[in-house]
C-alpha cells in the first residue's frame, strides 16, 4: 500500500470517513485498554460496524474503577470483546518476580512483554485483522505527535487512527453528547510515566 497516498486522500477527513475507509480494507478490529476517553472511538466504530471484534488485553493491574467502567462500556455499547490475558496470573508473577522498577529498564521491558505485548500479538495472530483501529491522539506523547492516520504495523496490518487530531476537549464533548462513561482513576503499569510508550505503538 502507498501510505503517503492513503494519508493524503484522508487529509482533512473526519473520524467517520477514516473509519469507513478502514472498514473497506478488509476484516477490522479495534483495541482498547479502557483508559479515560476510550468509549469515544469504541462508540464511533461500533456505530459503523456493531459486531466488530474488540481486542482487550487485561494485564491484571487495572484499578477497580477501570474494571467497573469497562463493564459499563461493554454493556452500553454491546461490545464484541475478545479478552486476552498474560500466560501467568498477576499473583503468580508478583510473587516470583515482584513489580519492576521504572529505573530498571531491562526488567521493565520483560514485564511489559509478558503482561501486554505477548498477549496483544497473540490476539492479532488469532483474530487476523487487515485493519486495526486505535484511539491514538497526537497530543498524548511526543512519539504520537508525528504519527499518520494510516500506518503500517507488523504482518501487513493497517494501523488506523481516526481521532489522531482530536484534543482532550473534543473527547470530553463527545462523551457528554453521547452520554458515554469514562473513568479517570486509571493506571498502566507498563507505562508508569504518562509520556512513556509501552511498545505497541513504537515503530520498529
| Sign of the dihedral through C-alpha 148, 13, 178, 45 | negative
Is 121 a domain residue? yes
Is 35 a member of any domain?
A: yes
Residue 203's pLDDT is what? 46
Please give the average per-residue pLDDT across 73-96, as a whole number: 97
In a domain, 197, yes or no: no
Q: Is the pLDDT of residue 26 over 90?
A: yes
Residue 204 domain-assigned (yes or no)? no
Average pLDDT over residues 4-25: 96
Range of the domain at 71: 3-178
How far is C-alpha 166 from the geometric centre of its chain's CA atoms?
15
Is residue 188, in this structure, part of any structural domain at all? no
Residues 2-11: what's their mean pLDDT? 94
Asked if residue 102 is part of any domain, the answer here is yes
Q: Cell numbers 453528547 label which residue? A: 177
Predicted TM-score of the model (pTM): 0.90
Q: What is the DSSP pairing of strand 53-57 with strand 150-152?
A: unpaired
Do residues 3 and 148 touch, judged by C-beta distance below 8 A? yes
Distance CA 167, CA 7 (A): 20
| 194 falls within a domain | no
**pLDDT value at position 13?**
95
Task: Look at the chain and report how many structural domains it folds into.
Answer: 1
pLDDT for residue 24 is more than 70: yes
- Domain contains 192: no
pLDDT digits (tens, 9 = 90+) for 87-144: 999 999 999 999 998 889 899 999 999 999 999 999 999 999 999 999 999 987 777 7
Task: State the CATH number of the domain containing residue 109.
Answer: 3.40.50.620
* Out of 35-39, 79-83, 149-153, 196-200, least confident range: 196-200
Local structure of 53: helix, strand or coil: strand
Which positions are catalytic?
198
Backbone phi, then psi, for 73, in 5-degree steps?
-65, -45
Amino acid at each position: 500500500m502507498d501510505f503517503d497516498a492513503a494519508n493524503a486522500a484522508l487529509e482533512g477527513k473526519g473520524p467517520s470517513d477514516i473509519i469507513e475507509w478502514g472498514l473497506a480494507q478488509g476484516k477490522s478490529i479495534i483495541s482498547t485498554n479502557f483508559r479515560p476517553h476510550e468509549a469515544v472511538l469504541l462508540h464511533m466504530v461500533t456505530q459503523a460496524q456493531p459486531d466488530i471484534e474488540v481486542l482487550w488485553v487485561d494485564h491484571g493491574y487495572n484499578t477497580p474503577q477501570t474494571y467497573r467502567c469497562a463493564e459499563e462500556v461493554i454493556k452500553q455499547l454491546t461490545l464484541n470483546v475478545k479478552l486476552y490475558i498474560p500466560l501467568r496470573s498477576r499473583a503468580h508473577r508478583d510473587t516470583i518476580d515482584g513489580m519492576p522498577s521504572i529505573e530498571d529498564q531491562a526488567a521493565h521491558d520483560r514485564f511489559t512483554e509478558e503482561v501486554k505485548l505477548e498477549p496483544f500479538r497473540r490476539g492479532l495472530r488469532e483474530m487476523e485483522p487487515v485493519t486495526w483501529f486505535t484511539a491514538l491522539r497526537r497530543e498524548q506523547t511526543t512519539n504520537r505527535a508525528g504519527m499518520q492516520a494510516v500506518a503500517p504495523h507488523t504482518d501487513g496490518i493497517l494501523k488506523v487512527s481516526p481521532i489522531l487530531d482530536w484534543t482532550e476537549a473534543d473527547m470530553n464533548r463527545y462523551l457528554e453528547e453521547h452520554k458515554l462513561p469514562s473513568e479517570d482513576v486509571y493506571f498502566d503499569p507498563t507505562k508508569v510515566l504518562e509520556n512513556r510508550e509501552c511498545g505497541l505503538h513504537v515503530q520498529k
